[in-house]
Amino acid sequence: MEGSSEPLLDAKAEVTNQLLDFQWKLGMAVSLDSCRSLKYPKVAVTLKVGERSSQVQNKSFEMTIPPFQNFYRQFKEIAAIIETL
């Protein structure tokens, strides 16, 4: 997934959701009904997002290693750009 070269939101749209917390766990799939013998790492992430005063929402999802590596790479790219500003 590449960073978008065009704005996702128009200039007037206000993003008020903030990332309040980032929780993760690293697990290992040991066996599936379709694959009895497996040792496969996977990452589960829970993001707590919310506006300052309103309800906090949890967004959870799971990634196998290739999508996780891409996820990590995106953050690294963002961090590199922010460093230059």
Chain residues that interact with another protein, rule: CB under 8 A: 1, 3-4, 7-9, 15, 17-19, 29, 32-38, 40, 42, 44-45, 47, 49, 59-64, 66-67, 70-71, 74, 78, 81-82, 85
CB 40 within 8 A of CB 28: yes
Taking the complex as a whole, how short is the minimal distance between the CB of residue 39 and another protein, in angstroms? 8
Find the shortest distance in angstroms from Cβ 62 to another protein.
5
User: Rounded distance, CA 41 to CA 45, Å?
Assistant: 13
User: Alpha-carbon distance 84 to 61, whole Å?
Assistant: 31
